[in-house]
Amino acid sequence: MSFSDKVLLWLHIAFAIFAIGPLTAVTSYVPRYIRARDLNVLRFLKRAGRLFGSLTLGVFLFGALLGRSDLAKVYLTVSMTLFIVAAVLLVIIDRDMSKALRALENDNPEDDAKVQTGRIAALGGVTSLIWLVILVLMVFNGGPGS
């Protein structure tokens, strides 16, 4: 492995740890604070979700650069496809967070954003599982000597 490949690998791992980890935590906290009707925390979580969500593109970029000669391998194709699916789910989660914030800002006791709470919880869980599947694919198929 060349020095530039080692740098790309370290950047790929660093972005995965420092972007995907916090993003997963943010999406898991959102339903709790919707139920608590804590608008200040929800606004913070929305900003944090957008920040960490945009940083996850670094994971994809450095991973694609690292695997540039092996992109035809099945585990890389599946991983990149799952990553794109997770990114789309994160966009849907962001949309639902906006809807929940608008619903909670209305001061209408009947509109408690239950629909958004359930959908965010479900999509956040699916996204977390996707990250886990990608991790398993990378460790067991993309390790040294493969």
Lowest-confidence segment of 31-40, 47-56, 65-74 by average pLDDT: 65-74
d(CA 146, CA 135): 15
Q: Is the pLDDT of residue 143 over 70?
A: no
The tally of domains found in the chain comes to 1
- 100 vs 110, which has greater pLDDT? 100
Range of the domain at 9: 3-142
Residue 92, pLDDT score: 96
2-40 CB burial, b ≥16 within 10 A, e <16? eeeeeebbebbeebbeebbebbbebbebbbebbeeeeee
pLDDT band at residue 138 under the 50/70/90 scheme: confident
Instruction: Output phi, psi for 50, to 5 deg.
Output: -65, -40
- Residues 129-136 have a mean pLDDT of 95
- Specify the 3-state DSSP secondary structure of 79: helix
Model confidence over 59-108: pLDDT tens digits?
999 989 988 888 888 989 999 999 999 999 999 999 999 999 988 888 77
- Hey, what are 108's tokens? 């209408």
